Structure 1
Amino acid sequence: MEEKKKIPEIRFKEFNGENATAWEQRKLGEFVDVTTGKLDANAMVEDGKFDFYTSGIKKYRIDIPAFEGPAITIAGNGATVGYMHLADGKFNAYQRTYVLTGFRADRSFLYSEIGNRLPRKISEEARTGNIPYIVMDMLTELDINIPLNIDEQKRVGVFFADLDNLIALHQRKYEKTVNIKKAMLEKMFPKKGEKFPEVRFDGFTDAWEQRKLGDHSNILAGGTPSTQKPEYWEPKEIPWMSSGEVNKKRLTGTNDMISKVGLDNSSARWVKENSILIALAGQGKTRGIVAVNEVQLTTNQSIAAIEPDETLYYEFVFQNLGNRYDELRMSSSGDGTRGGLNKKILSDLKIKTPSYEEQTKIGIFFKQLDNLITLHQRELDKLKNIKKAMLEKMFI
């Protein structure tokens, strides 16, 4: 019975079968040498020749190496404690970064097995309250399950290395598209004090005009039916949106529903589809985030709905306001960290606009970029979920 616990659920066929050997539970220190870097974080050099690993995700540079790969580095403290890098060539490390070398098992296999087990160990043995850190024996005494057949280690290691490379590829595609959008938002909307953007579609040359948002849109806030009245919430007939849902960015539905009776007996009201929804208040960074509803819905009192008139293309306004998040938060009543937005602030908000035709082209362009960003994010999430599932099934 115990032997079965040491055989993974999914295994490469050449290592499976009636005579399959079980994996063994060992200590990580049996298979690697563990040490730490010796340098302070400020030892980094901007144009250094070698990689310098700290307790962060980002790699820095340094002129003097102290280690040579193949190695694994592990952040020993900080917000990214436990984060790992595969290090090759000559490099150096921060004094709270652990360096694993001298592999007596396949490095890629160990990288995946450590990544599967160490986060749980860190959570279990958080040694300083809210900010856990790693000590040497947490690594050397870390229990790992491993096949002693080096060929099986390599097969598993290559499988997850390929998966990690695919995840990294889609991460780069996602980040590249996000950065393209950010750059184009800066170039396709006029800078402060200017009437012309740097980049325009062919055929458009007129200066942009500055208007008050309230002069060209209907701005309304919603309400919340009494939670003491069950009949206001049942039957679930009408989509009702709370402020946290602005983070969805594009609403095709809501988490909650109210009844027709609830709508009639509260300040909640219908919002036309393709309106811009902005969080007037909310937890943390929610205030000032904008979304657009692709279906009719109602909202609570912490959301303002901006229904543009025929002179404003909704997607243009959505992208414009979405690019002004910091400005909107600073415009809030209060000191920019407390308080909230209100209908008057939004009504008085100035917005630069070109012709409706140019607005439409700009809006569609950025919507297509958003769709591409969403596509890359979904692919990335899908691959991460596949990896998570395979880690559970291919390791013990």
Structure 2
Amino acid sequence: MHKRFTSFALLLILIAANMRIAIIVIPPLTTMLQHSLGLSTSQIGSLTSIPLLCFGLFSAIGSLIIKKVGLHTTLITGLIVLTIANFVRVYSPTLLFIGTLFVGLAIAVLNIGIPILVLSWFPGDQIRLNGLYTASLNLFAAIVAGGTATTAQHLGWQHTVQLISIPALLAVIYLGIFLLRTPKQVAQPAPSSAATTETAATPHHSVYQNSAVWLLMVFMGVQSAIYYAAVAWLPSLLTSHGLSATTSNLIFGVFQIIGVPFSYWAPRFLTGYKQLRIGLTLILLGYLIGLTPFLFNSGTVVLTIATMILGATTAAIFSLAMSFITILANTPDEAGQIGGTAQSGGYLIASISPVLLGVLQSHTHSWSDIVIVLMILAVINITIGFVLNRNHFKRA
């Protein structure tokens, strides 16, 4: 059992490695892409928005595809598409956008598959595995965010982007080995706890009638909108405060890596009403404290600390959102339905933020406006979180 769990945990880590890096690799290369391909600010922003739009449009049918062709086949296919699409997208501006489109489609399928995979193999360890998944996701995103600029200076931006295909290829290989060598874990019912929801007491077909699912969709969307806006524009925002491009990209790497421990521990707040209320309050404070220094003429040290706080906050709330999918579900099939609904609508909400904020900055020439919008979104997001907490945990 221990060996099986360890093998599965390694598989989860390898898949998690691919969930953000193909998106994260673009923002540090903004200047190179503009000079090499002649892309505008809004076009650069769309390279972040395209995958999110795919998450939104494609996630709704992701669970249907998994039911049709099988979970493991779907995951392998998604990883292969991700490997190829990312590798070939560097050869022309047209391929860059088409490849980014297929990157988004592949990650959308993987996004839906992960909660189903966890509940299929180790339903009783969902909180621990969700924490491991999101921590790994943030760790690899941090490595790419911090190392992209330096790598591109030595290898060029094209080869730097192509290196991102290696983790996806490794995940394909290991998934095949895992399925051949690891006996299937017999699914056991998840243990009952204070997190048991109204979904548990209702028939399978009523998943979409659960108000918590729709609240989760908006919660997922707003937190993703904040995160991906930060991913798209944080290096430029730091540069606007007088930091060099190299320093800005290093701090951008800190933004990613600081979230690793917080994303691992955040799901622990999903054990009851009071615990989640405390967690949401801390996250709101993290948003406000992390964003406020960007409204003023702050120095490098202050901006670095603010970025660390913001990175920890965005990692923690994403981990909460992903964990809610498995907490609300009783079966792998329900996890697919809930994940598809929450992520489809959520990422549609998030997909517009990088482009719209880029357009806002282009018209106002003010980064402060972007920061204020993000602070407003943070308050809205945590308010939704409190409503979700009251309607879900307080009833349990």
TM-score normalised per structure 1: 0.29
More strand by share: 1
Higher relative contact order (CA 8 A, sep 6+): 2
More helix by share: 2
Which protein has the larger Cα radius of gyration, Structure 1 or Structure 2? 1
